[in-house]
Amino acid sequence: MSAFIFDLDGVLVDTAKYHFQSWSAVADKYGLGFDAALNEKLKGVSRRRSFEIIVGHNGRAVDDYDVSEILNEKNRLYLQFIASINASELLPGTIDILSACKRHGIYIALGSASKNARYILEQTQILHYFDIIVDGNDVTKAKPDPQVFQLASRTLGLKNEECTVFEDSIAGIQAAQQANMHTVGIGDSNILTLADITIPDLSYFDFKLLHK
């Protein structure tokens, strides 16, 4: 038996734009510069680490801010954005690959930094596909630490080498590779250079790619 472990934001569901919008609003409020290039560095990392990256990019000190309040504020904004999220937000190929996994007897796991993952899976009507969910509520270390993926494989009773991770972030690819898992990058091959395979989105996935 093998498993496919999926990141959530930007891989299965088009929620990355809402993270960008909520971080943009927070950055504007506190006079911090924030743009799409900086947002790329936040993909796959925790909320706290994301704020640290934004503050560091602006040459500021994290200790100058009420971090807990800011992180809560960011999450409140994000939850407002995703309040009406539904299956229309699923990215191309999501249903096809999840259905194919079921047909092929492949375990389906989620490995996400999001603490809102279960809610999003419910709202987009794909929760029932997942054998296990490991998210930001279950881990203490953010990607690129491999903890989220190691916990997923251990929970499934599989060796790390039997797992394939689908990620859209550099940190996520690094985490999977530290866990000695196969990696499929979702997005730009010029950015996700460390991935074993890179495809634009899940609709491009073919099981034959894993045997090349």
CA distance 117 to 174: 21
Which helix (H) or strand (E) segment is 46 a member of? none
Continuous H helices in 30-146: 36-40, 47-57, 67-82, 94-104, 117-123
Q: Hey, is 74 helix, strand or coil? A: helix
Residues designated as active site: 7, 9
CA distance 98 to 108: 7
Residue at 186: amino acid letter: I
| Both tokens assigned to 98 | 């999840």
Q: Residue by residue, what is the 3-state secondary structure of 184-212?
A: EEECCCCCCCCCCEEECCHHHCCHHHHHC
Which helix (H) or strand (E) segment is 176 a member of? helix 170-178
